[in-house]
């Protein structure tokens, strides 16, 4: 995606946000609060002309971000730090601009080498009063080793139809996963998955299915059979949105200006 205007300057933003306060990333009809919408509104005020913000990932309603990446073009350039500070004043507190940087016009936030998601699960008897909108509470212990044994089959280039939403519009269900593992984090366990791209609801469907193995309801063999069977109806339930975070976005080459 080249610049919309000759002579425009392109910027990259890194954002953190609480997805529970928005109807997803992507701009929708007027009156629907989205992350893209509120940031574009602030950028338009700063730049004095309409601004299109292009994000690396279109997170769903309720899904959070620790490291979303986006770019925009403007005919009224300023120092990146000026944009960062001003945006943090003009956007709601549920959004934070962590970083702003000048990038070449060829940079496109959508063309990431890989994206990484993190899913938080709290496997204990009592729910969390403070993190109830940010972690999936499971009222019992989960077998971390069993879930990791199943998760290892996800790594590589595969057809992920078994974990694809019926509303997914991707042209192909094939994705390449570079990392898929559960790691202990204090009382919580986190599922970390890194891939070149993701299908609609793919991570939440995977987590919901892996938790069945952690409960002892599914064997490793059953997980593999369902995964390779390519039938979403045979897989487990979808995990709730509020435990999911877009944690990292990585680009193949360094982003430097000439």
Q: Which of 18, 60, 133, 231 is catalytic?
A: 60
131 sits in which H/E element: none
In a domain, residue 183? The reply is yes
Domain C-terminal end among 96, 111, 126: 111
In this structure, are residues 187 and 121 in contact, taking their beta carbons and an 8 Å threshold? no
Same domain, 91 and 136: no
118 & 20 share domain: no
Read off the CATH number of the domain in which 82 is found.
3.30.70.580
**Would residue 98 count as lying in a domain?**
yes
> Which residue matches tokens 């469907």?
205
Does 253 reside within a domain? Answer: no
- The residue range of the domain holding 66 is 9-111
pLDDT confidence band for 7 (50 / 70 / 90):
confident
The token duo for 232 is 């979403």
Residue after which a domain boundary falls, among 88, 111, 134: 111
Judged against a pLDDT cut of 60, whether residue 256 lies above it is answered with: no
The 10s digit of each residue's pLDDT in 57-71 is: 999 999 999 999 999
Mean pLDDT score of the chain, rounded to an integer? 94
CA–CA dist 84, 198 (Å, integer): 29
The reply to whether 2 falls in a domain is no
Is this model's pTM higher than 0.85 or not? yes
Query: What is the tens place of the pLDDT at every residue in 77-117?
Result: 999 999 999 999 999 999 999 999 999 999 999 999 999 99
Question: Are 99 and 124 members of one domain?
Answer: no
Residues 74 and 125 in one domain: no
The answer to whether 158 touches 197, Cβ cutoff 8 Å, is no
Number of domains in the chain: 2
11 is in an annotated binding site: no
Q: Of 58, 85, 111, at which residue does a domain stop?
A: 111
Residue-wise pLDDT for 18-50, tens only, equals 999 999 999 988 889 999 999 999 999 999 999
Q: Within this chain, do residues 183 and 65 fall inside the same structural domain, yes or no? A: no
Residue 16 within a domain: yes
60 catalytic? Reply is yes
**Which residue's entry shows tokens 């204990």?**
124
138 and 18 together in one domain: no
Output the CA–CA distances (angstroms, integers) from residue 257 to 15, 47, 103, in the order listed: 21, 21, 6
């Amino acid at each position: 995606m080249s610049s919309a205007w000759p002579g425009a300057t392109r910027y990259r933003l890194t954002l953190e946000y609480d997805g529970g306060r928005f109807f997803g990333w992507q701009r929708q009809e007027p009156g629907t609060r989205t992350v893209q919408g509120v940031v574009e509104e602030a950028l338009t005020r700063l730049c004095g002309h309409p601004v299109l913000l292009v994000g690396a990932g279109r997170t769903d309603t309720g899904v959070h971000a620790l490291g979303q990446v986006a770019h925009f073009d403007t005919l009224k350039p300023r120092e990146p730090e000026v944009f960062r500070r001003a945006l943090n004043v003009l956007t709601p507190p549920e959004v934070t601009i962590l970083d702003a940087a000048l990038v070449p016009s060829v940079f496109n936030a959508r063309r990431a080498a890989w994206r990484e998601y993190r899913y938080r699960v709290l496997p204990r008897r009592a729910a969390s009063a403070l993190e109830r909108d940010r972690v999936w509470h499971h009222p019992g212990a989960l077998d971390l080793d069993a879930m990791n044994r199943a998760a290892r089959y996800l790594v590589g280039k595969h057809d992920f139809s078994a974990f694809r939403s019926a509303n997914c519009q991707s042209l192909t269900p094939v994705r390449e996963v570079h990392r898929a593992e559960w790691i202990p984090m204090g009382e919580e366990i986190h599922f970390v998955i890194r891939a070149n791209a993701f299908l609609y609801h793919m991570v939440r469907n995977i987590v919901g299915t892996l938790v069945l193995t952690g409960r002892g309801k599914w064997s490793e063999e059953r997980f593999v059979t369902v995964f390779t069977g390519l039938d979403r109806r045979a897989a487990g339930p979808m995990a709730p949105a509020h435990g999911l975070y877009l944690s990292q976005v990585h680009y193949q080459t360094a982003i430097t200006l000439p």
